[in-house]
């Protein structure tokens, strides 16, 4: 298939593009580079444009069989401070993309969603039919787009798979692409920045939760496992499969302190770190129930936390060496 990957120059989108290529699909990356990086799009056909630009999208969708939609704003704190930005981009521009797909006859759509649609869960692990009660505009914007897709399927025949991520981590095992956020809010790359002096210290937000060591428990999933699930979801639709919503996680949790200990073991030294107050809205435990994805796609996350950390460290080191040349 020939697949348009919106946000394909971003963290997860670039890994999705490579997973598609490895499976023999043709890939066209569509990105406006507001947060994406040109180096992550190297080696692919590239169209520069905004998801809300219907004219450029219509040209990009010529001869396209399917869309993988990764282009979205994704900073929870920013969404609280500037919800307009999140609803305009994640919902408004997303609807332009959906409408243009319908008009251009593209009927297979893979959506990058999030566990933030659940809010503070009543039970863990979290299944797809758990209550959806987002606690921030980012989660609301993703859930709103899911509702739109669910309406477009019976009305226009736009079949979709919505993939709700838990905590994406790690980098491609080649070390060629990885996580490049600014500001960096994810635990593993933030910890590696503290290891190299790029930040003064790693802040751990709270150690008084009702967990074994007092820090939050999260379900970390390797970005390459995520990317492979996207390809399988697309191939499910291509084989005539019905639309669905799937959690992507491991079903296993690690505390923040466990992750930090793993990082220190992989890099061979202690991190400068400090316990600070809790962040508002952080649930003590977030774990996926990934059984639906396993049954429907034959997919299961296979890479360990150590592999996530080692791959991120490899990318970080290779990038540092390249800058030093």
Query: Would you name the residues annotated as active-site residues?
Result: 138
**Is 160 within 8 Å of 153 (Cβ atoms)?**
yes
Phi, psi dihedral angles at 34 (to 5 degrees): -65, -40
Cis bond before residue 125 (omega within 30° of 0) = yes
Give, in degrees to the nearest 5, the angle at Cα 251 between 277 and 233. Answer: 115
Q: How far apart are CA 57 and CA 102, in angstroms?
A: 12
H helices of 157-196, where? 187-196
Q: Does an H or E element contain 293, and which?
A: helix 291-297
Q: How far apart are CA 62 and CA 73, in angstroms?
A: 26
Phi, psi dihedral angles at 202 (to 5 degrees): -90, 125
Q: How far apart are CA 257 and CA 277, in angstroms?
A: 15
Question: Which 8-state DSSP code applies to residue 39?
Answer: G
> Which phi-psi region, left, alpha or beta, contains residue 276 (left: φ > 0; alpha: ψ -120 to 50)?
beta
Reported in sequence order, the residue ranges of the chain that DSSP labels E, i.e. its strands, are 2-6, 26-31, 45-48, 66-69, 108-114, 159-165, 167-169, 202-205, 217-218, 220-222, 244-248, 254-255, 273-276, 285-286
């Amino acid at each position: 298939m020939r697949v348009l990957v919106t946000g394909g120059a971003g963290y997860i989108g670039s890994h999705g593009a490579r997973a598609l290529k490895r499976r023999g699909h043709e890939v066209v990356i569509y990105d406006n580079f507001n947060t994406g990086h040109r180096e992550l799009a190297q080696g692919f056909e590239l169209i520069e444009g905004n998801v809300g630009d219907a004219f450029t999208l219509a040209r990009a969708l010529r001869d396209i069989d399917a869309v993988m939609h990764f282009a979205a704003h994704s900073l929870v704190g920013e969404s609280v401070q500037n919800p307009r930005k999140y609803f305009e981009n994640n919902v408004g521009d997303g609807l332009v993309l959906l409408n243009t797909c319908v008009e251009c006859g593209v009927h297979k759509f893979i959506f990058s969603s999030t566990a933030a649609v659940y809010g503070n869960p009543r039970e863990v692990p979290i299944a797809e039919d758990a209550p959806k009660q987002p606690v921030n505009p980012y989660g609301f914007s993703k859930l709103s787009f899911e509702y739109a897709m669910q309406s477009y399927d019976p009305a226009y025949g736009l079949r979709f798979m919505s993939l709700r991520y838990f905590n994406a981590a790690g980098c491609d095992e080649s070390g060629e692409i990885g996580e490049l956020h600014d500001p960096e809010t994810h635990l593993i790359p933030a910890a590696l920045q503290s290891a190299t002096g790029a930040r003064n210290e790693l802040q751990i937000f709270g150690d008084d939760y009702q967990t074994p060591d007092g820090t939050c428990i999260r379900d970390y999933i390797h970005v390459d496992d995520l990317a492979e699930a996207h390809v399988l979801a697309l191939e499910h639709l291509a084989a005539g499969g019905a639309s669905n919503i799937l959690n992507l996680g491991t079903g296993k949790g690690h505390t923040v302190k466990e992750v930090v200990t793993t990082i220190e073991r992989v890099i061979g030294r202690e991190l400068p770190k400090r316990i600070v107050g809790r962040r508002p809205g952080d649930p003590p435990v977030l774990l996926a129930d990934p059984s639906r994805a396993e049954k429907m796609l034959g997919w299961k996350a296979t890479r360990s936390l150590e592999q996530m950390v080692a791959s991120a460290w490899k990318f970080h080191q290779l990038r540092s060496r390249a800058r030093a040349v």
